Amino acid sequence: MVDVILGLQWGDEGKGKIVDFFAKDYDLIARFQGGPNAGHTLYVGEKKIVLHQIPSGIFHEEKINLIGNGVVLDVVTLKKECASVAAFGVDVRKNLYVSERTHLILPTHRALDKASELSKGDQKIGSTLKGIGPAYMDKTGRNGLRVGDILHPNFKEQYANLKSKHQQLLDNFNFQEDISEWEKDFFDGVEFLKTLNIVNGEYFINQKIKEGKKVLAEGAQGSMLDVDFGTFPFVTSSNTISAGVCSGLGIPPQKIKDIIGITKAYCTRVGSGPFPTELLDETGDFLRNTGNEFGSTTGRPRRCGWIDLVALQFACMINGVTKIVMTKTDILDALTELKVCDKYIVDGVEKSEIPFQMNHADIKASYRIFDGWNMDSSTITSFDNMPDTMKNYIQYINNFLNVPVKYISNGPGREQIVCS
């Protein structure tokens, strides 16, 4: 049996804490897509740690963690990340596994990412410049190198051939970058990767399922950044939705049971692209500062706005969401008035659907207004103890989406989750 946890907005919904919360009920936690641009923040005791590629179940020592074939892997980041995890007393060699079909991010992928973004001028996508897009392009172009290749005697020859192809592209961009230090770190990372458990991921995970083990599939980014269904072209380079679980781990669809979608009680976005409910005022600043809305990977300030139920309903539909976790409700504590977008006005016409090309349409958010709860909600431990204004806000969202909001996260701590 496989359950899925994924983001329903533009990422940064707090997936790390939620996976960590649920991990105790599962035997295996697996990342199925994305790269090191993901930043899943967890608190171990009072200490904060951000995971970029390692599944968020790593701090449950008895659990197995798998980096699936749908991920693109930065071995330099992985080595640093493993060192950070080891500082908490976790031996990653015991419970971290990596699929041999996982594609590698090369130093030249990072250079290509930078060259491509610079060439766009004012039309930048907002890439994190981690080399993720170029690595996925090599995957679909059948040029990429995979984790299993590092065990082959001619790996360095394969690397040199691909580097040469990349150099031709960089020459076309008229872009120069000294990658000698990046390469040194890369090959150090490759040697470290060889010390981990490299497995045939699809046989590995299907055998665990056959044995009756419970699997939790963890996504990165959010549904509105999906390469097919997100706000294209301002998207990531992989399928962030539930369909990506099957291709990203090698499991059949009928093995999937629950799809747990995560949304903030408001909305954020990093980088460029459409954002109908964005607040460019004091309320937006309040959400950003109170919610500490700065990228856990890049440190970039996040754009903030009211919750968008048109986009959220779309995300629930394409994912087949069965239950919702709402995070950061406590950030709204001090606001006397809350707004919920439940319709778009697209080119002057009321709509309840996501337009084909959001950045080509004039979209204005239509809002329903709610009273705020004006109290410290971070100490609430049961749904019954919530103020009526908070219940009304959550219940409206629950009814609009026709998917139950089953969990409400009201603080960063592991224990700060209320079941409805």
Q: What is the pLDDT of residues 287-325, one digit of tens each?
A: 999 999 987 666 789 999 999 999 999 999 999 999 999
The reported pLDDT for the residue numbered 124 is 59
Question: What does the domain layout of the chain look like in residue ranges?
Answer: 2-102+198-260, 103-193, 263-419
The reported pLDDT for the residue numbered 117 is 80
> What percent of the chain is modeled with pLDDT above 90?
76
Tell me which architecture the domain covering 103-193 has in CATH.
Orthogonal Bundle (1.10)
Q: Check whether 119 has a pLDDT greater than 80.
A: no
Residue 115 one-letter amino acid: A
Which of 46 and 335 is assigned the larger pLDDT? 335
Q: What's the whole-number average pLDDT of the chain?
A: 92
Q: Check whether 40 has a pLDDT greater than 80.
A: no
The reported pLDDT for the residue numbered 273 is 93
The reported pLDDT for the residue numbered 62 is 87
Q: Do domains 2-102+198-260 and 103-193 have the same CATH topology?
A: no
Domain 2-102+198-260 has CATH 3.40.440.10: yes
Mean pLDDT across 396-416: 92
CATH H-level superfamily of 263-419: Adenylosuccinate Synthetase, subunit A, domain 3 (3.90.170.10)
Active-site residues, by number, are 12, 40
The reported pLDDT for the residue numbered 121 is 59
Q: Check whether 54 has a pLDDT greater than 80.
A: yes
The reported pLDDT for the residue numbered 6 is 96
pLDDT band at 172 (very low <50, low <70, confident <90, very high): confident
Mean pLDDT across 382-404: 95
Question: pLDDT tens, 121-152?
Answer: 566 556 678 899 999 999 999 999 999 999 99
pLDDT band at 274 (very low <50, low <70, confident <90, very high): very high
